Amino acid sequence: MKFRLKQLRLEKGMSQNALGKELNVTHATIYRWENLIRKPRIQTLVTLSRYFDVSVDYLVGISEERQRKKHT
């Protein structure tokens, strides 16, 4: 799995601590996700994709297409 969380976080110039505060989790949780020690829940993946404005498929490395489909 090519989880792109760290890449996206760094593109925004955020620390693990700052992203953790945004998501209401600890920086240790962000570290574990980025290093594939733990996997985020499905709802968390959706939250992350919305936060970074990328598709879940891109976030988890399934697709190279960043754009998230907007639902009406």
**Residue 59 is inside which H or E element, if any?**
helix 56-59
Q: CB of 31 within 8 A of CB of 16?
A: yes
DSSP 24-53: TS-HHHHHHHHTTSS---HHHHHHHHHHHT
pLDDT by position in tens, the chain (length 72): 579 999 999 999 999 999 999 999 999 999 999 999 999 999 999 999 999 999 999 999 998 888 866 665
The pLDDT of residue 72 is: 53
The pLDDT of residue 67 is: 84
Q: Give the number of C-alpha atoms closer than 13 A to the C-alpha of residue 72, restricted to the C-beta side.
A: 0
Q: CB of 60 within 8 A of CB of 3?
A: yes
Domains and CATH numbers, the chain: 5-59 (1.10.260.40)
